[in-house]
Amino acid sequence: MAKRAWTKQAVANDLGISSSKANRKQAHKHRISFLAPLTQVAKHNWRAFYQTLLGQIRKPFSTLLISGIIGIAMALPCGLYLLVINLQAIEDQWPHEPQLTLFTHKKVSYFEAQNLAKKINNLPGVKSIKVLSPGSAMEEYRHIVGLGKNELLPEQKLLPSILIIAFDSQSIKPDMIKRVKEKIEHLGQTESVHLDQTAVEKLYKLIEIGERSILVIGTIFAVGVLLIVGGTIRLEIQSKHNEILVIKLIGGTNAYVRRPFLYSGFWHGIFGGLLAWLLTLTAVMFLSNPVADFAQLSNKIFNLVTLDMQSTGILIGSSALLGLLGSWFSVGRHLAKVEP
């Protein structure tokens, strides 16, 4: 019997059957033992993920209160961002060309003023130049102040030749205009050169201030969200102090205890981001009709720009990230103090 078994084993070994089966069984056991911890971690993450969500739903008042604070904190910089975007849209629709107004010396003739205009026309960024003779300039002045043709002006009101220099708004910036103004002043024959500060230029500065304000206010409120979530998680850790002690006594690790609190902060951020999006959308809808009526009075068609899909995703994602970071810092600080 033993000989027969040995013979079968020998044949099997010769054919390589039993060794391959043994190797497959051993590899399968090794694979199971390798995947088991990962499977357990995945299961616990999923359990913590939906249980914290259910916990938020079971406490609607507390969830709404915390998410409302986060939502307001996120909605303010988001609203400022929309304000800047809409101001940029207004600037794009507003036809404007930067201008310089040049007054020549009274002794400069109209012919000399035309030669001066030819020199200025070669400067970078200059689109066109309109030369007004003293007579044409006087007619425009009479029209502005409302004087009749027969009314005489005092000697000090007599005007010289005037050059109106228009720049290409697409290729020139305010700094370049100032450099061109300095070059014109060095050409001579000029009494004064005035840079027309239009409403559009003031709007451009206002947009620049708004862009920097977004960074400052956004940073301040981001820190505020971190503190709000951190304080909330700290209270949750204190309320579950005994439960955490029991889990650690039976062998639970800090990572195991930490996960539900991290997901809790994550959900606070998600709900806060959704509420911020809702508040922003409501504000845009509330203001859209008055803005459209105002644009119609100016013979313009303008609709307020709201958040697109990408901006909405960034808003909700950044809110969730802030909630996750706030809970991470709070758990890392306070969980280590809970020891059996």
Higher pLDDT, 87 or 37: 87
Mean pLDDT of the chain: 76
Structure tokens at 301: 């068609």
Name the strand (E) or helix (H) holding 162: strand 162-167
pLDDT digit string, tens, across residues 20-47:
544 554 544 445 455 566 677 677 778 8
Question: Where do we find the tokens 């280590």?
Answer: 336
Higher pLDDT, 332 or 21: 332
Question: Where do we find the tokens 């000697």?
Answer: 155
Residue 322 has pLDDT above 90, yes or no: yes
Q: What is the pLDDT of residue 273?
A: 93
Q: What is the pLDDT of residue 340?
A: 66
User: Which CATH architecture group holds 99-197?
Assistant: 2-Layer Sandwich (3.30)
Tell me the residue type at 27: A
pLDDT classification of 278: cutoffs 50, 70, 90 = very high
Q: Which of 61-75, 89-103, 149-163 comes out lowest in average pLDDT?
A: 149-163
Residue 320 has pLDDT above 90, yes or no: yes
Rounded mean pLDDT, 131-148: 64
Domain with CATH 3.30.70.3040 in the chain: 99-197
Q: What is the pLDDT of residue 156?
A: 45
Residue 280 has pLDDT above 80, yes or no: yes
% of residues, the chain, pLDDT over 90: 13
pTM: 0.62
pLDDT digit string, tens, across residues 173-229:
667 777 777 887 777 777 777 776 555 566 677 778 888 888 888 888 889 899 999
